Amino acid sequence: MISNIDLGINFAYVVSAVMFIFGLKMLSSPATARRGNLVSAAGMLLAVVVCLLNVGLDYKWIMIGMAAGTVIGLIAAYRVEMTSMPEMVALFNGFGGIASLLLAWSEYHQHPALSVFIAGVTFLTAFIGGITFSGSMVAFGKLAEMISSRAVTFRGQHIVNGLILLATLVFGVIFSMNPAANYPVFLLVVVVSLLFGITSVIPIGGADMPVVISLLNSYSGIAACAAGFVVHNNILIVAGALVGASGIILTNIMCKAMNRSLVNVLFSGFGSNAQAAGDGPQGEIRPATAEDVYYILEAADSVAFVPGYGLAVAQAQHVVRELGDILEKNGTEVSYAIHPVAGRMPGHMNVLLAEANVSYDQLVEMDDINPQMDSIDVCVVIGANDVVNPAALDDESSPVYGMPIIETFRAKTVIVLKRSMNPGFAGIQNALFFNDNTRMYFGDAKASIQALVAEFKDSV
């Protein structure tokens, strides 16, 4: 018979689940994203409090852990730069994976005589959690440029990964049949999962990192969902399933934005055969000064800013908004064209511009801005490279061929802000820079835009 306490706990879990769902719904729009994050966080707080009150525990170590985690989290959140946000997301994914692995390991260590079903779920939790952790650490290293962002491949790599996966499945069956007598097999699964996470992410190039981060986020959710079965916690199952499903959906959206399948992203080794950073020029560039760009913008009726990772590096989002405000006061129609995979993580540019209080109504997605491109007077490309590369449309030999881009080359004039002619994260040169209607405005993005703002103010 179900007690009143159990009913209260289950009711609280239902409330938490509803808050998670509504929070996720709110995250789908920039206008409600912050509120959605708070709603989801409140739901998680409710779930954690109810879970801890439900079991008799020594709270000393739990409180110490919570205090330590809170301090570390606050310091990291306040100190992290916007340029490092993708790395932090990768770390969060990894920590979620290792938490699930350790939870399953702890439960199995205390109660090794598991049923076949729970043993199988314990195996999956450890395996997926291990992949998520080590894979996320590799993604972190690539994003932080601690290791090469290029795809690292070797002959027979797919065969090696296939054999690792097959061996792990065999280990999982052996472990599940008699978990109490197969502790060494479980430890072997943990080691192999960590190895597989490395070998599966290393061959993925830097240009595919937004997809990888999204996929690893999904993995962390699936691992948490499986861990919920291990410890018999319904809200953990629900929360993990929501994260896993939303991560898969977002991964699919990202793949469509690149016109590539998930299999192609994971196994093609994109970027391993990309042209080197020093490949020769494809024509003559046309540099411009701040004064040149000022006159071009001052005469424009419509301007579209196209942000990329360089905007985040320069921390130029606030001065870009200031320039946009000045242009609007000058009678210019201003918009911000957002490519789904611009930056280093899903929604990177949206977060960056939201921080600068750019109006949500001015953010225009790639599919909506491209039909308007012929009528736009000036496109200002700020630190974007691969997502505006015309080679994706007309050069079948290019690694980015087939990827949908923001078709800035169709605008009447294109202003490209870059530090140098070095290629983007995909490691290939951009034909846009050599077009007749393109002007290269070299320098730090923030300083360059500040110079334009000064030009406008001086002209008043």
Instruction: Tell me the average confidence (pLDDT) per consecutive run of 10 residues in the chain, 460 residues long.
Output: 70 91 84 87 89 72 85 85 80 92 93 90 95 92 79 78 88 92 92 91 76 88 93 90 90 76 63 46 80 92 91 88 92 91 79 85 90 93 88 79 88 90 70 90 91 86
pLDDT of residue 150: 73
pLDDT of residue 274: 47
Element (H, E) at 324: helix 317-329
Nearest-angstrom CA–CA distance, 93 and 416 = 34
Catalytic residue, from 374, 386, 394, 395: name it.
Answer: 386
pLDDT of residue 277: 40
pLDDT of residue 275: 46
CA angle 47, 49, 54 (to 5 degrees): 95
Domain ranges in the chain?
Answer: 80-267, 290-459
pLDDT of residue 241: 93
pLDDT of residue 373: 93
Q: Contact at 8 Å (CB) between 385 and 306?
A: no
pLDDT of residue 120: 93
Token output for 273 = 């055969």
pLDDT of residue 242: 92
374 is catalytic: no
Q: Which of 242, 267, 227, 185 is nearest to 97 (CA)?
A: 227
> In CATH, which superfamily holds the domain spanning 290-459?
TPP-binding domain (3.40.50.1220)
Q: Contact at 8 Å (CB) between 283 and 383?
A: no
Token output for 152 = 């690292």
pLDDT of residue 4: 66
pLDDT of residue 205: 72
pLDDT of residue 413: 93
Query: What Å distances lie between residue 160 and 55, 56, 157, 165, CA to CA?
Result: 44, 46, 5, 9
Q: Contact at 8 Å (CB) between 449 and 316?
A: yes
Nearest-angstrom CA–CA distance, 305 and 324 = 9
Q: Are strands 333-338 and 302-307 parallel, antiparallel or unpaired?
A: parallel
Give the sign of the dihedral formed by CA 232, CA 236, CA 237, CA 240: negative
pTM: 0.78
Q: Are strands 438-442 and 378-382 parallel, antiparallel or unpaired?
A: unpaired
Indicate the SS3 state at residue 316: coil
